Amino acid sequence: MSRINDVGGMTGFAAIVQEPDEPPFHADWEAHVLALNGALIRRGIYNLDEFRDAQERLPVPQYLAASYYERWFAAIRVLLVEKGVATAADLELPHG
Amino acid sequence: MADRFAPGDRVRTRAADPDGHTRLPRYARGAIGTVVERAGAHPLADERARGGAPDAHAVHHVRFAAADLFGAGDHAVVVELWEDYLEEAP
């Protein structure tokens, strides 16, 4: 099953935007997502390949519309539910 | 475990499009290349993505002619591939 992440060598996409002096993160929440993913992997909740697989299983329109760290966050949410760490309802709770 | 392939061997990558996660990129499927060097041994990502804890399998750097992969280009492309993705080229 060819997945939407696997587009190397495929033509028809818009040009890649080159960002001079690109910062590691464009918003604080992106750094939190990076840290959260690392913590979950180190805790053994899931492994790196399960994380990659979860990104590849995102619905294609969602994958293509999402930024890099939005894909990460979506995959983390998928895995938290699949691994029984949280319910889908838990993830919708407002934070406060 | 002895490697099935050595530097200089001609190999063909699997053409099959697997159901789940794989680290054999679509552009490099069914292509003929040459083994450059061994690149260690690691659990196969395809199996690990299904939650398993498989044994380490040999990984090789394999050189392809860009024209063989993309139909154009006079440079070479080296891809890091698990031995599981490779068979002897005829």
ipTM: 0.88
Query: What pLDDT score was predicted for residue A93?
Result: 80
Give me the percent of chain B exceeding a pLDDT of 70: 98
Contact A9 B51 (CB under 8 A): no
Q: Is the pLDDT of residue A96 over 60?
A: no
Contact A1 B70 (CB under 8 A): no
Give me the percent of chain A exceeding a pLDDT of 70: 97
A70 at B interface, C-beta within 8 A: no
Contact B21 A6 (CB under 8 A): no
Chain centroid, CA B60 distance in Å: 7
Span B63-85, mean pLDDT? 96
Q: Is the pLDDT of residue A1 over 80?
A: no
pTM: 0.90
Looking from the CA of A30 toward its CB, the CA atoms found within 13 Å total 11
Query: What pLDDT score was predicted for residue A95?
Result: 67
Query: What pLDDT score was predicted for residue B71?
Result: 92
Q: Which residues contact A34 (CB under 8 A, 6 or more apart)?
A: A25, A69, A72
Query: What pLDDT score was predicted for residue B90?
Result: 80
- The pLDDT mean for chain B works out to 94
Q: Count chain A–chain B contacts defined by CB atoms under 8 A.
A: 40
- Is residue A61 within 8 Å of residue A85, measured between CB atoms? no
Q: Is the pLDDT of residue A43 over 90?
A: yes
Residue B1's pLDDT band, with cuts at 50, 70 and 90, is low
Q: Is the pLDDT of residue B54 over 90?
A: no
Å from A8 to nearest chain B CA?
A: 6
